[in-house]
Structure 1
């Protein structure tokens, strides 16, 4: 950042850089956060799919358990797990269809599992229940339930559900890696942006200290010396900017003050010389006045003597007149 730039540009550029880095780091955090949320949502859907598969198996197992209990006891209350299992199976199938979506392989496996489950309900469950309603055919109903066809259908839908679960496990592993990578990227973006911002702030602080603070400190020291009466030094002018222009202006001001001081010193010397001449003239005048005063005193003394002599002459004349009169 060159010093020739103005302080407003330096500070504005520093603030702009910090704002730009903050925006970029915030954008990176937002992008990684979106990726992390997408991966988390996908993993949540995968977990829901696995739970729906478990619900599918549990519904079929409840139906088989309720059917066996009814065939063994003959009580209608034993069919409650069977009826609850049918409702739960329908809900699990609907939920699985929604979670599988447009994936062709999972859709094919789910369809095969549903066919096997519906076949067990039709060919084993419902058939056994119809025969069990007639006590004479209960043994046939037990045979249908215990026949290998029911186990084969169970194995079929279990195999298909396990295949879906296997595919989903691969997806869950990939999603776990995506989530971990997203969390790592988000942390890197957050801490990286913070570190870069701190480094930029440190660099800007160093630049401001070198380009603004230190020159201002030198300017203040120079102004202090000028205030103490030192007009002989000059302030180093930088490459430009407000501080450089301030230094040049101060140098011009100090040069003007120095010239003014020299002019004042010359005028003072002239005034001192004139004052000396005036003092000498005054002393001469004072000496002349003293001489005149002395002359005046001498004249006064002479006048006193003349007055005294006149008085004596007047007295002598009076005596002469008296003598003359007497004569």
Structure 2
């Protein structure tokens, strides 16, 4: 038999399985969390840093172009209105540069420095060209733009434009790289999520398989072996594998099986002794009783008239006692055999059983002027001879314990769920409710043997037979007159369907 001490307990196995599941799940979740953090960082870089900076650089270029156009227009026309874009553009340029510098400083500090270079170039253009030109036009009061000034201003502004173009190109490159990284991280998160889902499915399936092999399968095997033992195979040794609790439970069941087997063997020995006793009771004990009765009857016949009245009364008492002892031994033997000596149970027609009982009681029925009403009775499964004894005892008692009126006996049956409830009622002397249980006790009599013959074993026999067939019997105490006995027997569905 398996040693339970070498087995892990189920709690430890469960903790190990859950721990593995938690570790693997936590690792996978951590990887996804890291990937999600990278995804957030890439998204912020694309949407909140490089992307907005690209847009601001374009706006910055537009603002500088407006300034250059305004200065050129003022130089050509001396109209002060042309200086409005120049003046407003400087404020807008400063705001745009600050916003772009703040957006790009974290992601690309090198590009933020490029904005400083652009600011220096634009400031040089204003100081070296735009501001002197504006002062010159104001002083002259007329257009003052000449070819040399135009070339010099264009060269200075081209430096700004080229720096902006280079920055724009670098921003586009950085944006494409950030977008590719965003797509890559998004794919990574997707793959990790799918992988985690698949991993969890595999882990759950693995844990389920492991739990089935180490818990459910051993329990199923133990249950099958227990059913085998409970079905009567007490020689089958219960031996199971699995966790410590299952092995210990199997050992406990096997210990119980061993004890039951020992008790069964003791019961068989006891039954053998009872059968031996029954044999002695039915043969060896009855033989001397028959001799006593026979010789007492011979004495009565031979010495009839020679004995006084007291002597003849003694002989009659002896003969009657011997005969009653024979009847008592036979009844006791029959009572002991119920459920011990079994025969094959068949489908029995209760109506036919009652008809046979009435045929056997026909002389008594005719002598008493009795009326027996029999309703529709079903067929049940059981031993016909035993069930016939139940109906015989109940109907016989109804005829025996009659009142002043001719006996009226009713036999009927009614289905109640999974059972048939049979009723045998009469108009006889009745039984007080306080004796409802006593009447079913063996050898218990409510009347003197001289008033009503019998051994007092009939109703005890009825109870034992009915319970042997899976039913119950009782005295109905809610009847105003007479006696009513009711008993149940299981319904046989296949019989009802035919």
TM-score (norm 1): 0.81
Note if contact 2:10-2:243 (Cα within 8 Å) is conserved in structure 1.
no
Tell me the equivalent position of 1:65. 69
CA distance in 2, matches of 1:292, 1:112: 149
CA distance in 1, matches of 2:202, 2:119: 61
CA distance in 2, matches of 1:208, 1:303: 93
* Aligned partner of residue 33 in structure 2, secondary structure: helix
Tell me the equivalent position of 1:133. 138
The structure carrying a bigger strand percent of its residues is 2
User: 1:295 Cα shift?
Assistant: 1.4
Tell me the equivalent position of 2:387. none
Over 3 Å counting, the alpha-carbon distance change for 1:268 and 1:146 in structure 2 is same
Over 3 Å counting, the alpha-carbon distance change for 1:145 and 1:71 in structure 2 is farther
Note if contact 2:71-2:86 (Cα within 8 Å) is conserved in structure 1.
yes
Task: Summarize the alignment of residues 141-180 of structure 1 with structure 2, pairs less than 5 Å apart.
Answer: 142-143=145-146, 147-180=150-183
**1:236-266 deviations in whole A, cap 9, x for unaligned?**
3215522222222212211211111111010
Question: RCO greater where, 1 or 2, for CA within 8 Å and sep 6 or more?
Answer: 1
* Aligned partner of residue 233 in structure 1, secondary structure: coil
Tell me the equivalent position of 1:34. 37
**1:99-132 deviations in whole A, cap 9, x for unaligned?**
5549785466444422321122223322232233
Over 3 Å counting, the alpha-carbon distance change for 1:278 and 1:105 in structure 2 is closer
Which sections of structure 2, spanning at least 5 residues, go unmatched? 1-5, 309-498
CA distance in 2, matches of 1:31, 1:75: 61
1:294 aligns with 2:298: yes
Tell me the equivalent position of 2:225. 222
Which sections of structure 1, spanning at least 5 residues, go unmatched? 305-327
User: 1:288 Cα shift?
Assistant: 2.1
Task: Summarize the alignment of residues 1-327 of structure 1 with structure 2, pairs less than 5 Å apart.
Answer: 4-43=7-46, 44-72=48-76, 74-99=78-103, 101=105, 106=111, 109-134=114-139, 136-140=140-144, 142-143=145-146, 147-238=150-241, 240-279=243-282, 280-301=284-305
CA distance in 1, matches of 2:84, 2:149: 20
User: 1:137 Cα shift?
Assistant: 4.6
Tell me the matched-pair count.
300
TM-score (norm 2): 0.55
CA distance in 1, matches of 2:17, 2:163: 63
Note if contact 2:122-2:160 (Cα within 8 Å) is conserved in structure 1.
yes
CA distance in 2, matches of 1:20, 1:108: 47
User: 1:148 Cα shift?
Assistant: 0.8
**1:39-72 deviations in whole A, cap 9, x for unaligned?**
2223331223322322221111111222334445
Deviates further, 41-50 or 153-162: 41-50
CA distance in 1, matches of 2:298, 2:148: 169
User: 1:152 Cα shift?
Assistant: 0.7
CA distance in 2, matches of 1:60, 1:93: 11
What RMSD over aligned residues (CA atoms) do the two structures have, in Å?
2.8
